[in-house]
Each structure stands twice: as C-alpha cells, then as structure tokens.
Amino acid sequence: MTLSQRPVLVVGAGIMGAGIAQVAAQAGHPVALVDARAGAAASAIDKLATTLQGLVAKGKLSAEALQATLARLQPADSVAQGVAALASAGGVALVVEAIVENLAAKRSLFAELEGLVAPDCVLATNTSSISVTAIANGLQHPGRLVGMHFFNPVPLMKLVEVVAGLHTEAPVAEAIYALSQAWGKTPVHAKSTPGFIVNRIARPYYAETLALLQEQAATPTVLDACLRGAGFRMGPCELMDLIGHDTNFAVTNSVYEANFFDKRFQPSGVQRELVDGGLLGKKSGRGFYDHRTGALPTVP
Ligand code: NAI
C-alpha cells in the first residue's frame, strides 16, 4: 500500500490541521483542508500563504515551491465538498483528522467519511490521547483507522507517533510510518495506551506545573525561566499556551479517565478556570501570557 503523493483530506483547520495540510502539500500531495466553521479553511490557507511568503523573502523557500504548494491546497467547508474537490486527482487516499479532542465528535466524523471515501482509503486520527481502538469501534472497516500523532508546530517538529489500536491492520500502520518518513518526519510505532508515549510522560509534567501555580509557589514567568534555564526549549506555561488550554484540558481529562482516575493525572482547577474564561492561549490571544501585546515572558 503506497500513499505517496496521493490526495489527502485534512479535516479540522485549526493549529494542527493547517500545519498538516502544509506539510502534505509541500510533499507533493493534492490536499483539501476542511473545517466545519464556514470560511475557516480558506483563512487558514491564507495565513499559511503569508507564512510561506515570509520563508521566500528570507530565501528559505523558492518562489516556484511556494506557487506549487499553494496550487495543491484547496479549502472546503464540509467533508463532502473536500472529497469532491479531490475527485479529479484520483480520489481521497488518506484522511487526516485534526478536529476537537472528543471521542463522540471523532466517531461521528469517521462514520460520515466512510460513506464518502473508497473502502481502501486510510483513515488517520491526530488525536493526542483518545483510544484509537475506541475511535475505530463501530466503523465498517475499522482496520484502516490508525493514529498519526503530529507535534506542534507541525512543519517544525519531527516526531510522529504512529498509533496502532486493536483493530488497526499492520500494513496500514506501516503505510503511515513510511509516509511520515517521506514527509521528512521521524516516526515511531506506539500502541493505543492512554496518552500514547509523549503525552503519557508529559501529563505529570504539566500537572506538577499547575500544582505549583495553584499553590502560588511561582509565577508562570518564573516557572518558564526555570525550565528554559534547565535546558528545555520552552517552559511549561508557554508550551501550554501554544498547545491551547481547551485541547490540553481535554487531553488531561481523557488520560485521567483512561488511567482509572489515577491522581498522578488529575486535571487542575487552574486549567479549568482558563478554559471557562476563554483564555485558551496563543490561539485566543490570552492564556498565561498576553500574546496580543507580543511581550516576551521576563523574570520579575
Ligand atoms: P483547534 O481548536 O486549533 O482546531 C480544531 C478545528 O477543528 C477548529 O477549527 C474547529 O472548527 C474544527 N472542527 C471541530 N469539529 C469539526 C468537525 N466535526 N468537522 C470539521 N471541523 C471541525 O485544535 P488543534 O489544537 O488543532 O487540535 C486538533 C486535534 O489535534 C485534537 O485532537 C488535538 O488533541 C490534536 N493535537 C493537538 C496538539 C496541539 O498542540 N494543539 C498537538 C497534537 C495533537
């Protein structure tokens, strides 16, 4: 099974979906980017064009590569529209789902997709934490569903966790592994355990950060300065702002529940307060930091 340069449907034009669409188009695939919010996919592609133009200006990308990449990208406001847009290129060979971190939403999307794509089309989910086995449950062809877990920001981060659930057929996981390599990524095979590999390790890291904040032991600025000083590329608070507190909170809840409410993975009230207040981080303009002012965190 080869997916090389075949049409890709990316569903969800948020932080992750836009990055995945960019990487796929740069690797030569015709791509349709879909979002349920009208106009969201088109504006994500506009934003992406501006970013790539910046790379051309810096001499990091050729003008021809920019034009070729943009020519491969099409926006759509529904999956049916996205599937139709790729019909003339041979039909969707791979779906990469990057919608909200919610099992019911993902199941319902894949059920709809099964009615629109060919039976051999690979269905990949970018879920951070939800059981790949559970997402596949109920599909007509559950063996073709696999986790393809990218990291943020997608064009820069090399790691992809290729997550096999109990239903996932081995050739499907191998095809996604090979495709990730073709996209310049460094894939690893993972099992559908709660949080897979990176998020399993990262949850207690965020939990301890949030506990220190709750205890008012240190400010976000101090915590970030400490961890940067210890060699981390980003501090935990600025990283949570980048991920998005809504997504990060959903991931924490999912890992907590999947670990039978083990206290190590317990969500934090600090996180919930940010989500309830719409302070989602970089994507909403404010989280721990105010991203609208562009001020960099400094040690007080
Ligand atoms: P986001 O909130 O930036 O974007 C999600 C997008 O999906 C929104 O534009 C929303 O309108 C759209 N959407 C929601 N339901 C939809 C539906 N049924 N059909 C079409 N579009 C729909 O979220 P983000 O951060 O891009 O996360 C997406 C997925 O990627 C989640 O499963 C998340 O856990 C995972 N992920 C997130 C990472 C991060 O750092 N933010 C890292 C790795 C994985």
Q: Say whether 152 is catalytic.
A: no
CB of 16 closer than 6 angstroms to any ligand 1 atom: yes
**pLDDT value of position 155:** 96
User: Do 116 and 216 have their domain in common?
Assistant: no
Per-residue pLDDT of the chain (300 residues; tens, 9 = 90+): 789 999 999 999 999 999 999 999 999 999 999 999 999 999 999 999 999 999 999 999 999 999 999 999 999 999 999 999 999 999 999 999 999 999 999 999 999 999 999 999 999 999 999 999 999 999 999 999 999 999 999 999 999 999 999 999 999 999 999 999 999 999 999 999 999 999 999 999 999 999 999 999 999 999 999 999 999 999 999 999 999 999 999 999 999 999 999 999 999 999 999 999 999 999 999 999 999 986 655 433
CB of 247 closer than 6 angstroms to any ligand 1 atom: yes
Q: Say whether 149 is catalytic.
A: yes
In 3-state terms, what secondary structure has residue 146? strand
User: Do 110 and 241 have their domain in common?
Assistant: no
User: Do 170 and 42 have their domain in common?
Assistant: yes
The string over 28-60, giving b where at least 16 C-beta atoms fall within 10 Å of a residue's C-beta and e elsewhere, is ebbbbbbbbeeebbbebbeebeeebeeeeeeee
User: Do 16 and 71 have their domain in common?
Assistant: yes
CB of 20 closer than 6 angstroms to any ligand 1 atom: no
**pLDDT value of position 296:** 58
What residue numbers bound the domain in which 159 lies?
8-191
Question: Which residue lies with its CA nearest to atom 44 of ligand 1?
Answer: 128
User: Do 245 and 121 have their domain in common?
Assistant: no
Pocket test for ligand 1, best of 128, 241, 255 (most atoms within 8 A of CB): 128
pLDDT in tens, 194-220: 999 999 999 999 999 999 999 999 999
Q: Say whether 161 is catalytic.
A: yes
User: Do 246 and 275 have their domain in common?
Assistant: yes
Domain boundary among 191, 212, 236: 191
**pLDDT value of position 1:** 77
Instruction: Answer yes or no: is 291 within a domain.
Output: no
Instruction: Answer yes or no: is 237 within a domain.
Output: yes
pTM: 0.96
CB of 11 closer than 6 angstroms to any ligand 1 atom: yes
Instruction: Answer yes or no: is 148 within a domain.
Output: yes
Q: Is 160 left (phi over 0), alpha (psi -120 to 50) or beta?
A: beta
User: Do 94 and 221 have their domain in common?
Assistant: no
User: Do 19 and 137 have their domain in common?
Assistant: yes
**pLDDT value of position 265:** 93
**pLDDT value of position 295:** 66
pLDDT in tens, 15-57: 999 999 999 999 999 999 999 999 999 999 999 999 999 999 9
CB of 15 closer than 6 angstroms to any ligand 1 atom: yes
Out of 101, 114, 161, 238, pick the active-site residue: 161
User: Do 31 and 122 have their domain in common?
Assistant: yes
C-beta neighbour count of 90 within 10 angstroms? 11
User: Do 145 and 257 have their domain in common?
Assistant: no
Q: How many domains does the chain have?
A: 2
User: Do 164 and 255 have their domain in common?
Assistant: no
Instruction: Answer yes or no: is 295 within a domain.
Output: no
Out of 129, 199, 248, 254, pick the active-site residue: 199
**pLDDT value of position 72:** 98
**pLDDT value of position 253:** 96
Domain boundary among 139, 167, 191: 191
CA distance 236 to 69: 33
Q: Say whether 208 is catalytic.
A: no
For residue 145, the cross-strand partners are 123
Instruction: Answer yes or no: is 66 within a domain.
Output: yes
Ligand 1, closest atom to CA 99?
Answer: 7
Kindly provide the ipTM of the predicted complex, given to two decimals: 0.99
Instruction: Answer yes or no: is 3 within a domain.
Output: no
Q: Which of 236, 294, 232 is nearest to 270 (CA)?
A: 236
Angle between helices 198-214 and 236-243 (to 10 degrees): 110
CB of 17 closer than 6 angstroms to any ligand 1 atom: yes
Cα–chain center distance at 25: 16
Domain boundary among 148, 163, 191: 191
User: Do 46 and 187 have their domain in common?
Assistant: yes
Out of 29, 101, 131, 149, pick the active-site residue: 149
Q: Which of 190, 203, 179, 209 is nearest to 256 (CA)?
A: 203
Instruction: Answer yes or no: is 153 within a domain.
Output: yes
| R_g of the chain, CA atoms, integer Å | 19
CB of 40 closer than 6 angstroms to any ligand 1 atom: yes
Dihedral (Cα; 194, 198, 201, 206), 10-degree rounding: -100
